[in-house]
Amino acid sequence: MGNQNGVKTLLEKLNIKPVNPGACTGPNAWIADPKGTELISVDPTTGEAIASVVQASPETYNIIITKAIEAFQAWRMLPAPQRGQMVRDLGNALREFKEPLGELVSLEMGKIRAEGLGEVQEMIDICDFATGLSRQLYGLTMHSERPQHRMYEQWHPLGVTGIISAFNFPVAVWSWNAAIACICGNTTVWKPSPDTPLTAIATQHIVNRVMADYGVDGVFNLVIGANEVIGECIINDHRLPLVSFTGSTQIGRHVAGCVAQRLGKSLLELGGNNAMIITEDANLDLAVRAIVFGAVGTAGQRCTSTRRIIMHQAIADELTGRLLHAYRQIVVGDPLQANTLMGPLINATAVNNMLLALEMARSQGGEILFGGEALPEKGPHFVTPALVKMPSQTQIVRQETFAPILYLMTYHNLEEAILLQNEVSHGLSSAIFTSNLLTSEQFLSARGSDCGIANVNIGTSGAEIGGAFGGEKDTGGGRESGSDAWKAYMRRQTNTLNWSNALPLAQGIQFNV
């Protein structure tokens, strides 16, 4: 099979052994931890073990952090364009290994091959973006009210950035943070999801090769470990001025509280209960394609997955019929097979959560129009994507279920539709399909979508790296990737320079001594 050949090629090229230590401080500096416990990586397609990893203990974590702090002392003084050159070479190395690394993502996480390759492409794109950004870390200049004074601001790196990533994007989200933090002059410590350690190890090997060419050590660091052990070390460590966390809102609240308690900074990318409004004048051909990709892609396990359709009552029957037809064409199966459109859920807990949510939907007046069944004959974590007609936005609809469940509701006027969209606790991504300019502008206005991402005639998933990614409310308020998201990884410093022989005070204050 393609997955076996692709992964074998990657492991051979990078000299990755079946069993790996779970911590690395730089080029091939893998740490053997006698106190570390074993972590088994499981193929969600078959439920079988792929390989095992020795997790890091708190003692090993401390070694990693100490090394990262030492590396920061020199790294922060290297000109940003030189740091950018290394990130550029990292992007080129990822180009070299795009296919086998993408297949490893699909094998370990379960997303289809096209999405696995797309995730590595996203890493490549952010490396390109960060390379250019390394020459654009701009500060402002301001006119001083005092004569012969110059005011300006500049940005300095924070220090060691902690990165805690989730299973659904096992490498891309790391790259968003690591590439930007790196060109800003920070060193990084990455704790990947316990569900996807092998993709992290493979990525670290690629990073190590690039950094070894420059003789750089301790800038990109990896620590694999349990959430309740290494995760707690990171969020409570005062030596980490910034922690970037991607995961559930529930855990995000805990992370935010711990980091705030020590007056650190947290960058939170949490859940999303994303809606798509379909107006009576929408292009339904476009809408159906966007809906299916948004709801079924990555088996509904994206924070930007489409979970709610709010459709005008005039086109509700037609759109529902089109969606039923599209859902019947979806091939569920091995994510590395070319014709598969939906792979497995990540584990048995995810399957159970989906089935429980559908039971609640039924109890709250919902009608399952399609799917929502476990497929044990395909494997332990396979399900059919579900279409559920809901009479209103009930309690279960207001909750985020990390699974391919799509709730269908109707509306009468645009104000009602926008209210329904915003009437959930999350505020990540949103979309409207309309052919009316006034409608689209109302959706994008201050009285429209309350989400961090608002799209017109495209879906809720598939954000480009050039824009800042993140959302409001229970999504956490963080911003990563493009635009000026780089500022989260730096500290602002305002400077005033007096080039006169006098000492005038601001606001005209006189203080003679």
At 62, which helix (H) or strand (E)?
Answer: helix 58-75
Residue carrying structure tokens 């790391």: 174
Which of 108, 115, 122, 269 is labelled catalytic? 269
Q: Residue 218: left if φ>0, alpha if ψ -120 to 50, beta else—which one? A: left
Instruction: Give the SS3 label for residue 90.
Output: helix
The closest alpha carbon to 269, from 472, 436, 501, 121, belongs to 472
Instruction: Give the SS3 label for residue 494.
Output: strand
d(CA 204, CA 14): 10
Is 184 in the active site? Answer: no
Which phi and psi angles does 403 have, rounded to 5°?
A: -165, 165
Which of 24, 182, 303, 451 is labelled catalytic? 303
d(CA 18, CA 23): 15
d(CA 355, CA 333): 19
Are 470 and 477 contacting, i.e. CB atoms less than 8 angstroms apart?
yes
Are 217 and 27 contacting, i.e. CB atoms less than 8 angstroms apart?
yes
- C-alpha torsion sign, points 70, 74, 79, 83: negative
Are 126 and 177 contacting, i.e. CB atoms less than 8 angstroms apart?
no
Residue carrying structure tokens 């409310």: 473
d(CA 22, CA 223): 6
* Residue 212, token pair as written in the block: 């070894």
Is 119 in the active site? Answer: no
Catalytic residues: 269, 303
